[in-house]
Structure 1
Amino acid sequence: MRSPASSTAMIGRESDLEALRAELGEASAGSVDAGRPRAVVIGGEAGIGKSRLLGEFLAESEGSATVLLGRCVDLGSDGAPYAPFAAVLRRLIQQVGLDTVLRAAGPGAGVLSVLLPELADDSAVPARTGAERLYEVVTVLFETLSAERPLILAVEDVHWADGSTLELLRFIVRMTERGRVLVLLTYRSDEVSRGHPLRSYLAELERTRRVTRWELARLQRDQVAALIEHLQGGEPDLATVDRVYALSEGVPFFVEELVGIDGLDTGEELPETLRELLLARYERLGDGAQRLLRVLSAGGVCVEHDLLVAVYDGSPDELDAAAREAVVANVLTAEGTEYSFRHALVREAIHADLLPGERARFHTRYAEALEASPQRSAIQLSSHWLAAHDLRRAFLASVEAMDEARLSYAYATSAAMGDRVLEMWDGVPDAEQLAGRDRIAVIARTASALRNAGDNERALALVDVALADLRGISPARHARLLRDKAQYLSNLSRPGSAELLEEALAVVPPEAVADGDPLRPHLLTELAARFMIAARYDEAIAMAGQAIAEADHAPASLQSVAHNILGSSLTAAGRVEEGLAELDIAGRLADGDASALLRHAVNASDALNSVGRYEDAVRIAEAGAREARRRGVERTSGVMLSSNTAEPLLALGRLDRSAELLDAALALDAPPSFRAQLQRNKLWLTLWRGDVDRAEELLRRWRGSLRILGELEMQARLSIARITGEIALARGDAEQAWREAGGIGSEPFATIPGYDLPVLAVAARSLAERAVARRAAGAAGDLDAADALDVSAEALRLETVLAALGDWPTFPIWAPLVEAELASARAVAAASDTDHERRLALAVEAWSSAVDASRSPLAPAHLHPYVLLRAARAALAAGDRPAAERLAAASREEADRFGFGLIASAAAGLVAHRGTRAVAGAAGAAGAPLTEREEQVLALIEQGLSNKQIGERLFISAKTASVHVSSILRKVGASTRTEAVYRAARASR
């Protein structure tokens, strides 16, 4: 048996190595403030050379970058949570020192003890606040250190990674913003079958633009020949190349193994199966080396020397001699303090070859050694005792592992251990005594872990199992199970949470709860929150008030949340001063509790924004964001405040700053309700900047999830109606806009004044535009009696809805706009020419009042130029072209100043060609009146622009521009673009 080392030359991977260099160059080109973080995911079958490529790249990069390497062990979800990060952190401390690491991690550095327990120091470690705190601290650590030199984080074999490791890696890849960081991941593609969790994980990761993914291909025949030549030190004959290429099928590891076999030149003694090939070197070792490798295989791909000493039954000299023989034979590698199989395939083959007695005996030794080890891991103990068929000890270790993983925020692993405990429960006679809890408690904790791991479906199924058998369960535990189910349903955006919380409260009347137990105040607060988001404000106020009354001995943080819900509900119900006062109380009570502080900042800023106090809303939201940053949750919990900052910034006309916040926040993992709010604000900004096509595209992508949330949250339902209606109006579809917003004031909408008023404005505009379109489509240019009656009746209904909102602070801003839109609708629907002229005059007067009202500081920045534009259209309809031009010019100037492209382009095209057809839909057109978008296109046609140029100017595709041009030609009865300009100009005079 010849034993050449692995090839020292990179053969067949030159382009892959160059691609990695390019990725590092891209990541290094950024700065700590404007990073260009990159991630590369490299897949390939076993033996294809992933580790070889990675090792070559990392070795050459050590001179210019901080290189950190971690490996996932081949115990799947049973591996110790964050195992590769523990190794990475230890290496980092060796490189730069513990003090540097702690400073770079920032104020939350104490949470790093989750990865390295030896760092724990109760006097300095802040309270743990969840996995997101750990994820953010690790990300900040890497970002900060990358300021000095680029940082490479490499993790091998992520197909074996536990769920917590995958989540932390996903967070780093997606959330790194300011650092010069390159993340490298490798996985074995032949291990990732259809049901493997890594399959969907990689698909999601790949959607991030900073991620590049490729798979290593097998070597071609000429590359195999070059590799053989390098290994043998001379040119091989053709027969040898043919034999090796045929048997290895171009897999580099197999080439190296085949070249190391005596008899290769003659073709004798060559392995006939993959198993024989993998065991070829092993079987030619001495008995001592083989015995060591069998023991080692039960411990995984990598085993620490001290652990191996404790497990191996020979003397230290025998261990050293056996290990040296295996290293020389190129079966093992020794690096630092650990032994590793040169390839996981060899370890798997040896482990599979163990006799049943050997397997049980070796795993028992590992378990016993780990029991006494300072690096003791209950999760690994569970796996070893299970492999050793010691059910009782496996059960005990699994219970401990379940709790250990939960404390490390490794929720997926905790859930897996909970499942294992439940599977073994009936096979362990005294399971309840050993576990220290009953079966229902294990189910509840497992469900909670699943919820925290993001698997609410399975959490819901488990809690249903617990609720199906409540024998011996106290009322308090029953209520908590109902509360848990309510949370899981809410997380899944499904109805039923409020009913479950009401049932839970019925189960535990005040006399059924022990003194000091905050269960009832908590249930009351949660129920109040459910009522609040459903706009059932009277019930929310009652529940929150009752929670406050029963919360005398509850934690201040819970009292803060109760006052928070009460304040938000009072404000939304129109009792603004009372509500804001309660929110102030919530803020004072929240002091010191991160969750309560952030919740207060979110709700207080939302309330202030809804009453038109935009600067105050921005101030509160930005203060909350700073607190989130200080507490190390800027990119997780803190993302909720991005939307609450962006929305009042939009109202203040600070579009660039708002866009910056929205784009950054949308790249993060906000909870569903806040993600939807971010999406709605992004839609609004995109639309009013003038990119209607992009707004439509985003709406198609997000509409499904937005609708689901709208089924549960009334604020979301109203906000969706507003933006979808506005997008429909922008593309000239008044009927669709009316379907979206016209039902305001009736089912399925409820009254939230701050949200109702903008939707009313959309509904009123839709009514006016529908009247224009229907009139133009009429045979004689007149509305028939039924249509006229429809407009009159609907206008009256909308006015009734409007009147009910008269106490809201922003009512004086929105009401004149709604009334002016309805006046225009009535003018179009006039039954006679005389009535039409009279109503046109009334509409002009109404728009004048709306212009004055929109100058208020309570008005959002877009409202004044928008109202000027609509007033210009009314003036054109009334035949007052000079007034229309003056109003349109003022609208365009102000819209341009803020960046409201939708208004600016419509104002630019309004008076150039359209004349009185703007509102009245006057005769002279061959079809319906031009939409505002078509007016914009017509103005650009007059300038001689091509379809492509029109598309670039209006942020639409050339194809869409062509559709608009065709519509214009049809409507004005023209056959050419020049004729369309001429006919439209004639119609305007």
Structure 2
Amino acid sequence: MTIQPLAITDVPSGAAVGAAWHDENVTTSAPAMIGRDADLARLSERLDEVRAGAPFTVIVGGEAGIGKTRLIREFQRGLPNDVLLLTGQCVDLGSVAAPYAPVKTALRTLVSEVGAERVLTAVGPGRAALVALLPELAQIEPGEIGAPGKGIESSQLHEGIAVLLETFSRDRPIVFVIEDLHWVDAASLALLRFLMRALGSSRVLTVLSFRTEDVTRGHPLRAFLAEADRDRWVERRELGRLTRPQVRKFVRSMIVDDAPSERVLDNVFRRSDGVPFFVEELVGIDGCRDEGFVPDTLRELLLARYERLPDSAQELLRLISTGGVRVAHALLSEVYTGSADELDSAARQCVQYGVISIDGDDYAFRHALVREAILSDLLPGERARFHARYAEAYEAAAEAGTRRLAAEISFHWLGAHDAARAFPATMQAMREARAAAAYATAAQLGERALGLWDVVPDAAAAAGMGKLELMGRTASHLRNAGEGERSLALIRAALAECPRDDANYPRLLRDKALYLGNVGKGGSIEVLEEALEALDRLGDAVPGELRPTVLSALAGRLMIDGRLDDAAEVADRALAAAIELGSPRYASIATNLAAISRSDRGEVEAGLAMLERARELAQGDGAAMLRYWVNASDLHYLIGRYPEAVRLAEDGLARARAQGVERSSGVILASNAVDPLFALGEWQRADALIERALALDPPVPFTAYLQRARIWAALWRGDVTGATDMLRRAKPAMASVMEVEMQTRLAVGRVAGEVALANDDLGAAWREANVLLHEQYLPLPGYALPFVWVAARVIAAVRARPGAVPPTVADQVDAAEPAFRELLERLSNWPTHALWAALFDAELATVDQGSGADVPGADPSAWRRAVEAAAAPEAPGFLAPYALLRRGEAELAAADRAAARATLQQAFDLAEAGGVGAVRERIERVASTAAIALEGAARPHGAEAAGIAGAATSDADALAAAELTARERQVLELLAEGLSNRQIGERLFISGKTASVHVSAILRKLGAATRTEAAYRAGALR
């Protein structure tokens, strides 16, 4: 009888091993993987694609025991030598896992592979963030790196890791494996989400695995998986159970001789349900020859091998299970109470019996299910003792080394039911998580500490802070983790506990105001005003820097709300407080806010001078300089200085990348560069900035700015359908930002109005434009003036087609013109006022075409003035071809075909050169309708040349169509839309009387008695 060799066969003599576990002809696991060839091949295919420069993520899911780990191990074993393998495994530490635990393991592999110095050099500006994650790296160049964790943001760490992977993947393709995502910590999950979007120029294959049944409702992984399903660079592979033939092949691969009977094979398939791990366990029971040995329950099956081990080995397994799925030998030696020989003997038996395996220097359970079954077998007192041993061992390791282990210490002291020792460890773990920018984990640990507060003696001394401060810090971590509502709820709870004469009270009020703004709720201004009252009441009892921060926050909220006079006054107070404190940073921020507030109320030159002073004050202070670049670039764009706006935004973006904050300040600066680039006609550069910024997974407000720009660009480049779809999907997320930011309300409202106009939905367009008249304060001029122009287009469209909206709406629109003109006049001190006023006038200027009604937008002289205004340097590039198009239409309406042809040709050339697809397409339609041939324009042919939507589909239809002239077909189409003779004339640039002649000819040729019958015939022809 031949056997497959076991991993360990040399049991020490004298070891009490009890009854023989393995039959000689049975292996501990199948020597070959069965039923996963297609999955393995797919991973290899994805690796080939990654080699070519297309990063990809494969997520492997499946129930426990289905073979996820086996598949990944087989894939890893077959990797070519030039591939760099980085692996990490999530750790089961209950509800609060250690931050970045699997990522640290993978990065330490990278450090050992290429060297710490190369890693630190490659990460560049992300050095400090990486040292915060891996403190041992601080020993390499401690003088240059600085204090780990100080001022580190999660975006810096995320970008630093992305840079590392991108850099080293240029030399060697990287396979980045993270297993057991069902235990993933929030920080690692956020990083993986970022990497899936940001690794756009790398050769990295990311492989993730998770247990499907553990991802229940509310599990953070559910949202991650939902996002992944929408990503074209991500593939989900769900491993299914083995079929009956596959189970038969599986069993035979494990039993070398004595082929099992059909009854045994059927029994294994029935009892295992095709789950590979259960097949292995069933076959392992005496070769599965005797059905009487088959356990009745899953738990019995999982414990079958364990229960046949001697007591010493069982105790060791219980101890290991308390430590996790895998435990390092060095750690196990610290918590094991027996001798080293006894540990080796017991471990050897556990390995030989196939309960655990050796993985490097670690002991790992062959499957997590086995560990969970053994863990549930612990007695309460035994469990507490084991946890206490691990806690003490981790404490000793933390004191002796540079690794941060407070999360593990906290977990095990809690498991030992020792709150007094768990509490300080929890506080330290919170600090460590914050130092590594793991805000979600820091918040969870802060909440854990708050839960322990009342059961710990002298909690304030142990924490190093009072309960209110801990609540405030935890709320801040929640906000930075994106948990806006929870942060707001916690800060409200802190305020409810805080006496009004406590020094924490104004700080908590300031934080509440900030969090209200973060979640898109009103009330920030009132809360900040209350905070100022509290500061006045408490006097010197509060730190001096709190007053300028509260005043600056209030000035910013007032400015965003459009209360510019109040904002300027409060910003001046903030500046005085900053000067008194001697803080250039706060002085720069206050001056910056004062500059923008004054600019928005028309004092642009004074505002620009103040911005320059803010820049001088900010020198050497990265945060203050970034705020300068943000507001300076935006102001230069709004006043029409587009090249300077791009320069400022790109300078700031470069600094944001250098500081590792591209995901926050960098995204704002990128969006500030996008609009002036569009204005300059540099669509591709703007597109690249949008794609890069969105790939960084920015916060919701920043996403709103980028999506609005993307929608607008799609619309003016001719993709009306795409713009409409993007607006529909993005607007719900934009709503919260629009609620608290006037600039966003105006910018998004303008784009939404233009999209509605493009879709001929005049009712929706009016609803958007009408909002402009109902702002509580004077709208911000840089955003309002283009919106007023859109409102003029809506009014003109409704007047030209009064039947397109209900009569009551038409009356409202018609009566609104004076209000918009008044608003336009109130904004006359803005540098670009003349441009938008000229366009407004041209859209509504009328001429009498002899049909008894004035036609809006048909005055050639008004459009000549608009064309001159659109040629000015402060006019965005898309307006010049648009104004020329409208002038050409007006000249056609005035029967000046020669002038119209020249104007339309000029408009076409500008639109084509500037990439303004929407204008170019409309020019082509107008020229085609007026039978004007334009150089470079697409030539209609076939049915299109005849001016109809499509060819007739039957002989009779074709015959009928042939009887109509090209012009009559055009008139018939408009007749079918329900237009009057006058409206048909306006559309085709002919008189109403001529349209009437065409209608009479159509009725005669079609044999139609009425216009309705002719319209029906038009439908048949179509």
What TM-score results when the alignment is normalised by the length of structure 1?
0.90
Matched, 1:633 2:653: no
Contact 1:475–1:512 (CA under 8 A) maintained in structure 2: no
Which residues of 2 match residues 835-984 of structure 1 at below 5 A? Answer: 836=854, 843-913=859-929, 941-943=943-945, 970-973=973-976
Which residues of 2 match residues 108-127 of structure 1 at below 5 A? Answer: 108-121=126-139, 122-126=142-146, 127=150
Aligned equivalent of 2:313, options 289, 294, 299: 289
Aligned equivalent of 1:139, options 144, 149, 162: 162
Root mean square deviation of aligned Cα: 2.9
Deviation at 1:142, TM superposition (A): 0.5
Aligned equivalent of 1:179, options 189, 202, 212: 202
1:369 equivalent in structure 2: 393
Unaligned runs of 5+ in 1: 31-35, 779-783, 917-934, 950-964
What CA distance in whole angstroms lies between the structure 1 residues aligned with 2:724 and 2:424? 56
Secondary structure of the structure 1 residue equivalent to 2:57: strand
Secondary structure of the structure 2 residue equivalent to 1:149: coil
Seen in structure 2, the aligned counterparts of structure 1 residues 604 and 284 have a Cα distance that, compared at 3 Å, is same
Seen in structure 2, the aligned counterparts of structure 1 residues 131 and 791 have a Cα distance that, compared at 3 Å, is closer
Task: Give CA-to-partner distance per residue, 1:481-501, whole Å, 9 cap, x none.
Answer: 111111111110110111111
Matched, 1:459 2:487: yes
1:885 is aligned with what amino acid?
R
Seen in structure 2, the aligned counterparts of structure 1 residues 489 and 791 have a Cα distance that, compared at 3 Å, is closer
Aligned equivalent of 1:393, options 404, 412, 421: 421
What CA distance in whole angstroms lies between the structure 1 residues aligned with 2:798 and 2:728? 23
Deviation at 1:705, TM superposition (A): 2.4
Deviation at 1:946, TM superposition (A): 9.5
Secondary structure of the structure 2 residue equivalent to 1:508: helix
Contact 2:99–2:438 (CA under 8 A) maintained in structure 1: yes
2:535 is aligned with what amino acid?
V
Contact 2:649–2:672 (CA under 8 A) maintained in structure 1: yes
What CA distance in whole angstroms lies between the structure 1 residues aligned with 2:381 and 2:653? 59
Which residues of 2 match residues 310-321 of structure 1 at below 5 A? Answer: 310-321=334-345
Matched, 1:227 2:279: no
Matched, 1:818 2:840: yes
Aligned equivalent of 2:687, options 645, 659, 663: 659
Seen in structure 2, the aligned counterparts of structure 1 residues 350 and 945 have a Cα distance that, compared at 3 Å, is farther
What CA distance in whole angstroms lies between the structure 2 residues aligned with 1:807 and 1:972? 47
Deviation at 1:238, TM superposition (A): 1.0
1:925 equivalent in structure 2: none
Aligned equivalent of 2:330, options 298, 306, 312: 306
Secondary structure of the structure 2 residue equivalent to 1:478: helix
Deviation at 1:430, TM superposition (A): 2.9
Matched, 1:647 2:671: no
Deviation at 1:608, TM superposition (A): 0.2
Secondary structure of the structure 2 residue equivalent to 1:187: strand
What CA distance in whole angstroms lies between the structure 2 residues aligned with 1:549 and 1:723? 40
Contact 2:251–2:283 (CA under 8 A) maintained in structure 1: yes
Contact 2:498–2:504 (CA under 8 A) maintained in structure 1: no
The number of aligned residues is 933
Aligned equivalent of 1:78, options 84, 96, 100: 96
2:13 equivalent in structure 1: none
Seen in structure 2, the aligned counterparts of structure 1 residues 789 and 237 have a Cα distance that, compared at 3 Å, is closer
Contact 2:180–2:209 (CA under 8 A) maintained in structure 1: yes
1:404 is aligned with what amino acid?
E
1:192 equivalent in structure 2: 215
Which residues of 2 match residues 466-545 of structure 1 at below 5 A? Answer: 466-471=494-499, 474-509=501-536, 512-513=539-540, 517-545=544-572
What CA distance in whole angstroms lies between the structure 1 residues aligned with 2:649 and 2:338? 66
Secondary structure of the structure 1 residue equivalent to 2:760: coil
2:831 is aligned with what amino acid?
P
Matched, 1:11 2:29: no
What CA distance in whole angstroms lies between the structure 2 residues aligned with 1:68 and 1:840? 65
What CA distance in whole angstroms lies between the structure 1 residues aligned with 2:827 and 2:451? 58
Aligned equivalent of 2:762, options 734, 737, 755: 734
Deviation at 1:97, TM superposition (A): 1.5
Matched, 1:249 2:273: yes
Deviation at 1:974, TM superposition (A): 9.7
Aligned equivalent of 2:117, options 81, 99, 104: 99
Task: Give CA-to-partner distance per residue, 1:795-839, whole Å, 9 cap, x none.
Answer: 333322222222211122222111111213xx47x9x868849x9
Which residues of 2 match residues 708-857 of structure 1 at below 5 A? Answer: 708-747=736-775, 750-774=778-802, 793-824=815-846, 827=847, 836=854, 843-857=859-873
1:617 equivalent in structure 2: 645
2:121 is aligned with what amino acid?
R
Contact 2:763–2:805 (CA under 8 A) maintained in structure 1: no
Aligned equivalent of 1:423, options 428, 451, 457: 451
Which residues of 2 match residues 378-417 of structure 1 at below 5 A? Answer: 378-417=406-445
Deviation at 1:633, TM superposition (A): 2.7
Deviation at 1:938, TM superposition (A): 9.5
Aligned equivalent of 1:448, options 442, 455, 476: 476
What CA distance in whole angstroms lies between the structure 2 residues aligned with 1:512 and 1:726? 52
Deviation at 1:470, TM superposition (A): 2.0
Question: Is 419-428 or 791-800 further displaced after alignment?
Answer: 791-800
Deviation at 1:984, TM superposition (A): 6.1
Question: Is 370-379 or 563-572 further displaced after alignment?
Answer: 370-379
1:172 is aligned with what amino acid?
L
Aligned equivalent of 2:349, options 325, 346, 351: 325
What CA distance in whole angstroms lies between the structure 2 residues aligned with 1:968 and 1:385? 85
2:669 is aligned with what amino acid?
L
**Percent of aligned pairs sharing the same letter:** 46
Secondary structure of the structure 2 residue equivalent to 1:415: helix
Contact 1:873–1:884 (CA under 8 A) maintained in structure 2: yes
Deviation at 1:901, TM superposition (A): 1.0
Aligned equivalent of 1:273, options 297, 306, 314: 297
Matched, 1:165 2:188: yes
Seen in structure 2, the aligned counterparts of structure 1 residues 24 and 46 have a Cα distance that, compared at 3 Å, is same
Secondary structure of the structure 2 residue equivalent to 1:241: helix
1:258 is aligned with what amino acid?
L
What CA distance in whole angstroms lies between the structure 2 residues aligned with 1:940 and 1:670? 49
Secondary structure of the structure 2 residue equivalent to 1:447: helix
Matched, 1:58 2:80: no
What CA distance in whole angstroms lies between the structure 2 residues aligned with 1:944 and 1:816? 37
Question: Is 412-421 or 631-640 further displaced after alignment?
Answer: 631-640
Secondary structure of the structure 1 residue equivalent to 2:845: helix
What TM-score results when the alignment is normalised by the length of structure 2?
0.87
What CA distance in whole angstroms lies between the structure 2 residues aligned with 1:63 and 1:968? 73
Secondary structure of the structure 2 residue equivalent to 1:509: helix
What CA distance in whole angstroms lies between the structure 1 residues aligned with 2:924 and 2:315? 86
Secondary structure of the structure 2 residue equivalent to 1:298: helix
1:955 equivalent in structure 2: none
Secondary structure of the structure 2 residue equivalent to 1:40: strand
What CA distance in whole angstroms lies between the structure 1 residues aligned with 2:833 and 2:246? 76
Question: Is 811-820 or 179-188 further displaced after alignment?
Answer: 811-820
1:360 is aligned with what amino acid?
A
Seen in structure 2, the aligned counterparts of structure 1 residues 510 and 607 have a Cα distance that, compared at 3 Å, is farther
Contact 1:283–1:290 (CA under 8 A) maintained in structure 2: yes
What CA distance in whole angstroms lies between the structure 1 residues aligned with 2:969 and 2:131? 67
Deviation at 1:849, TM superposition (A): 1.1
Secondary structure of the structure 2 residue equivalent to 1:551: helix
Contact 2:460–2:466 (CA under 8 A) maintained in structure 1: yes
Seen in structure 2, the aligned counterparts of structure 1 residues 301 and 947 have a Cα distance that, compared at 3 Å, is farther
1:151 equivalent in structure 2: 174
What CA distance in whole angstroms lies between the structure 1 residues aligned with 2:67 and 2:946? 60
Deviation at 1:232, TM superposition (A): 1.0
Secondary structure of the structure 1 residue equivalent to 2:85: strand
